[in-house]
């Protein structure tokens, strides 16, 4: 393949510091892989924002193109599963951390990391969903497999204004659950009600140190925050309920008690989306195609060009960005 140039965001680190820039890159610089893609759309996730700002040691090797999500068309393939022209998507697998990711117009990846783009979605729609919607769907599936039914009572979603939270609210509401959305932005109540939230609480009710056990309230929880919020969510979960832990926006710590797990039989289910087996990914995306109302995507997401990403990253970390950021890498 000719050494064509393309635009991408590159993060590098040397003796002079941490450098992030939008620049011309070359085909020959792409990492090893058996499938080369023309990227259509990517996203700006919380993890990408950490990488772009250097706020956390997300990047495992330099230089690195960030972007944990991408969707596009196959240009060249040595994988038996894909041929030129196929539309595919990717979430996770360390892409954007240890392997060049989606915030560039080209990508070279392992075919085992890719799944076919569901016919229900365009590339832009798939990225409006992205890792956030895929993780939310994995969380919902975990609740269902545990046996939680809509009739069992309220389901708490923390970080409800974020990407994962927004999709969790929308999916659970569409499936008939009574969703209580916790948010630090009560001014966004109308948005959460449009997604299907039955009630809204202030995150301050959950994000401070609490007692080992609280009054039983939640039949289940989807938590994207961790730390005290996760501890308090567990403490108020009903007997034999389940808490799906899928994020750490408040912190990686778990400053709590084993009491909910031993005295109430609460299950704490860890939701890993990065290294999830391919069959789980296909199941989650099939469910998204079935259970997510596409009309909600413009409400949950907005689109920016590749040139806007670097300046937007610190705002996302500051909690100033609602929902999902879709990146059209070709503008």
- If you average pLDDT over every residue of the chain, what do you get? 95
Q: Both 193 and 93 in a single domain?
A: no
Q: Both 174 and 144 in a single domain?
A: yes
Chain position carrying tokens 């919020």: 229
Higher local confidence (pLDDT), 170 or 2: 170
85 Rama sector, left if φ>0, alpha if ψ -120 to 50, beta otherwise: left
The answer to whether position 284 is within a domain reads no
The answer to whether position 283 is within a domain reads no
- Quick check: 3 and 28 in contact, CB under 8 A? yes
Q: Both 162 and 247 in a single domain?
A: yes
Statement: residue 2 has pLDDT above 70: no
pLDDT of residue 10: 98
Q: Both 34 and 62 in a single domain?
A: yes
The answer to whether position 161 is within a domain reads yes
Statement: residue 1 has pLDDT above 60: no
Query: Mean pLDDT across the stretch 116-132?
Result: 96
The answer to whether position 277 is within a domain reads no
CATH number of residue 88's parent domain: 3.90.180.10
Query: How many angstroms separate the CA atoms of 38 and 72, rounded?
Result: 6
Statement: residue 163 has pLDDT above 90: no
Per-residue pLDDT tens over the stretch 241-252: 999 999 998 999
Q: Both 266 and 194 in a single domain?
A: yes
The answer to whether position 81 is within a domain reads yes
Q: Both 218 and 101 in a single domain?
A: no
Q: Both 31 and 66 in a single domain?
A: yes
Query: How many angstroms separate the CA atoms of 101 and 42, rounded?
Result: 9
Domain that holds residue 161: 131-270
Per-residue pLDDT tens over the stretch 92-110: 999 999 999 999 999 999 9
- Quick check: 292 and 170 in contact, CB under 8 A? yes
CA within 13 Å, CB half, 215: 1
The answer to whether position 209 is within a domain reads yes
Q: Both 198 and 94 in a single domain?
A: no
The answer to whether position 264 is within a domain reads yes
CATH number of residue 248's parent domain: 3.40.50.720
CA within 13 Å, CB half, 316: 26
Q: Both 303 and 265 in a single domain?
A: no
Q: Both 107 and 135 in a single domain?
A: no
Q: Both 226 and 147 in a single domain?
A: yes
Q: Both 177 and 78 in a single domain?
A: no
The answer to whether position 68 is within a domain reads yes
Query: What's the total number of domains in the chain?
Result: 2
95 Rama sector, left if φ>0, alpha if ψ -120 to 50, beta otherwise: beta
pLDDT of residue 156: 98
């Amino acid at each position: 393949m000719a050494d064509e140039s393309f635009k991408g965001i590159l993060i590098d680190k040397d003796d002079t510091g941490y450098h992030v820039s939008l620049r011309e890159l070359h085909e020959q610089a792409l990492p090893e892989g058996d499938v080369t893609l023309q990227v259509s759309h990517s996203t700006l996730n919380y993890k990408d924002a950490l990488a772009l700002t250097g706020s956390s040691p997300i990047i495992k090797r330099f230089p690195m193109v960030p972007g944990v999500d991408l969707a596009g068309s196959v240009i060249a393939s040595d994988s038996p599963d894909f041929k030129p022209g196929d539309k595919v998507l990717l979430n996770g697998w360390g892409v954007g951390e240890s392997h060049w990711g989606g915030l560039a117009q080209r990508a070279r990846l392992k075919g085992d990391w890719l799944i076919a783009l569901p016919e229900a979605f365009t590339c832009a729609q798939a990225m409006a969903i992205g890792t956030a919607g895929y993780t939310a769907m994995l969380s919902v599936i975990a609740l269902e497999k545990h046996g939680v039914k809509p009739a069992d009572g309220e389901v708490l979603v923390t970080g409800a204004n974020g990407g994962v939270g927004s999709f969790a609210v929308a999916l659970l509401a569409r499936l008939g659950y009574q969703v209580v959305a916790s948010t630090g932005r009560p001014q966004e109540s109308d948005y959460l009600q449009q997604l299907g939230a039955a009630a809204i609480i202030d995150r301050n009710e959950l994000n401070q140190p609490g007692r080992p056990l609280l009054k039983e309230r939640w039949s289940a929880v989807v938590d994207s925050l961790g730390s005290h919020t996760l501890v308090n969510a567990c403490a108020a979960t009903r007997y034999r309920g389940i808490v799906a832990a899928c994020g750490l926006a408040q912190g990686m710590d778990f400053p709590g008690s084993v009491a909910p797990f031993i005295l109430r039989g609460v299950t704490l289910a860890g939701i890993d989306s990065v290294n999830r087996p391919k069959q789980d990914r296909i199941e989650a995306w099939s469910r998204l195609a079935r259970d997510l109302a596409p009309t909600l995507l413009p409400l949950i997401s907005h689109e920016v060009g590749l040139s806007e990403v670097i300046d937007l990253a610190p705002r996302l970390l500051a909690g100033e960005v609602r929902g999902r950021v879709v990146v059209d890498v070709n503008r």
